[in-house]
Amino acid sequence: MLTNRPRGTSDILPADIHKWYYLEDTFRQVCHQYGYGEIRLPIFEHTELFVRGMGDTTDVVEKEMYTFNDRGGRSITLRPEGTAGAVRAYLENNLYAGPQPVKMYYLGPMFRYDRPQAGRYRQFHQVGIEAFGSHDPGLDAEIMALAMDYYTRLGLSGLCLQVNSVGCPQCRPVLRQRLQEFFAPHREELCPDCQSRYHRNPLRLLDCKNEKCQSLGQGAPSALDCLCPECAAHFAAVRHQLDLLGVSYQVNPRLVRGLDYYTHTAFEILVGGIGAQSAIGGGGRYNGLVEVCGGPPTPGIGFALGLERIILARESQGLPWPRARQMDVYVAVADAAAADRAVRLLTELRSAGLAAERDYLGRSLKAQMKQAGRLEAAFTVIAGSQELEQGRVAVKEMSTGEQHTVPLEQLVDFLQGRMR
Ligand SMILES: [Zn+2]
Ligand SMILES: [Zn+2]
């Protein structure tokens, strides 16, 4: 137990962290350009928030939450997603009273007690955005554009944006009834999940992954057949805005989100190369959610993308990662008499903004040079007592093997000049 991490978790080692920096930095940059500000939310919230925010009939709430009582006897849940916490923060901090829309993004770990498989973990990482306070279909389109822009900047190809409208509380009962009528003759043949969805959440009959359910669903009515005039107009405007932004998409009438507070736009982004589970992100409008969580009626829209899936997709597409951050200078000690001066030198280099490292194992000079190579240092400064007495050090440029003798007072300028 002591040397095994819990199932479904992973260690992100220093050797791999540059991949994560790249994904996170790129996301921060895109969000900033689209006018979103970062929000940092708690990793855990009151359980009731997720039950309300995600709906008590969803798989996540029914089977997958990490819920426990804390020492004060309160029921606490590790966040399985980011939206509920963002809604809570929007209300608790009175953000609804300020200028709208409020555009926020987040990134961080989420927790679901799911069956671990490729690209799926119990602690996984998401980036996401939430925008509150606007009905504008242009915002729906902008959010999809942002997501696509992000994937494109990461170099991913074979992307497919699928869009649908799931209607509103006025027109959804019509769809619900038509779906129940359609599936009624085949109810016994549906999978056990769908048999319970049939009553509680018939929209979800459309996106069951079970083959039998999928074939029974051939020709089922879709949300698009049942939209009220207002929803149809919103959907048309979203598509128009996507065209304006130059974002290509497919309408997928089977794309659904089962809960009442989801309204209008639903979307999903698929990518080639990671097998059957090719969705790498999705989102939609949730004009009823803020009210469900106890706030004033407030439109909202958002999406979430899984970073593990993006890593899988990039690797399956053979995309190279940007280089890991490099060590600039390795300070090697040629003889024991130079050791103290070398430590001060190291500090001077770091103070000047350089990444600098030295030996802590009493290695020979030759072994120190080898270590500098392993660390991929750009330069090795060789501190020898004789040269130091003359106010100089030897500098080896590791990429070329070239050696220079550099006066100490010019060392920082020399290194910085060479690195440029
Ligand atoms: Zn409607
Ligand atoms: Zn099913």
Residue-wise pLDDT tens digits, 217-261: 888 998 899 999 999 999 999 999 999 999 999 999 988 876 778
pLDDT higher than 60, residue 133: yes
Give residue 55's pLDDT: 82
Confidence band, pLDDT 50/70/90 cuts, at residue 206: confident
- Higher model confidence: residue 215 or residue 144? 144
Tell me how far the alpha carbon of residue 358 lies from the centroid of ligand 1, in angstroms.
66
Give residue 99's pLDDT: 96
Averaged pLDDT for residues 88-92: 98
Q: What are phi and psi of 395, to 5 degrees?
A: -125, 125
- Enclosing H/E stretch for 400: none
Please give the distance of CA 174 from its chain centroid, rounded to a whole number: 36
Q: Alpha-carbon distance 79 to 21, whole Å?
A: 22
Nearest to 83 by CA among 125, 142, 130, 47: 130
Mean pLDDT lowest for which of 35-44, 140-149, 181-190?
Answer: 181-190
* Pair of tokens at residue 393: 């050090």
Write out pLDDT tens, residues 377-390.
999 999 999 999 99
pLDDT higher than 80, residue 101: yes
pLDDT higher than 70, residue 273: no
Give residue 86's pLDDT: 97
Tell me how far the alpha carbon of residue 212 lies from the centroid of ligand 2, in angstroms.
7
Mean pLDDT of the chain: 93
Give residue 193's pLDDT: 86
Tell me how far the alpha carbon of residue 274 lies from the centroid of ligand 2, in angstroms.
23
Give residue 13's pLDDT: 96
Averaged pLDDT for residues 399-409: 95
Confidence band, pLDDT 50/70/90 cuts, at residue 275: low
Give residue 294's pLDDT: 93
Tell me how far the alpha carbon of residue 92 lies from the centroid of ligand 2, in angstroms.
38
Give residue 360's pLDDT: 97
Q: Which ligand is nearest to the CA of 172?
A: 1
pLDDT higher than 60, residue 277: no
Tell me how far the alpha carbon of residue 71 lies from the centroid of ligand 2, in angstroms.
40
Alpha helices in 247-338 (DSSP H): 289-292, 307-316
Give residue 258's pLDDT: 62
pTM of the prediction?
Answer: 0.91
pLDDT higher than 90, residue 278: no
Q: Is 48 helix (H, G, I), strand (E, B) or coil?
A: helix
Q: Alpha-carbon distance 134 to 102, whole Å?
A: 9
Give 136's DSSP letter: -
The phi-psi region of residue 123 (left if phi > 0; otherwise alpha if psi is between -120 and 50; otherwise beta) is beta
Q: Which ligand is nearest to the CA of 231?
A: 1
Percent of the chain with pLDDT over 90: 79
Nearest to 333 by CA among 359, 308, 352, 305: 359
Mean pLDDT lowest for which of 99-108, 308-317, 359-368?
Answer: 308-317
Q: Which ligand is nearest to the CA of 202?
A: 2
Tell me how far the alpha carbon of residue 162 lies from the centroid of ligand 2, in angstroms.
21
CB neighbour list of residue 351: distance below 8 Å, 6 or more residues apart: none
Percent of the chain with pLDDT over 70: 98
Q: Alpha-carbon distance 358 to 371, whole Å?
A: 9
Averaged pLDDT for residues 59-63: 86
- Higher model confidence: residue 85 or residue 195? 85
Confidence band, pLDDT 50/70/90 cuts, at residue 119: confident
Tell me how far the alpha carbon of residue 403 lies from the centroid of ligand 1, in angstroms.
74
Give residue 223's pLDDT: 87
Averaged pLDDT for residues 305-316: 93
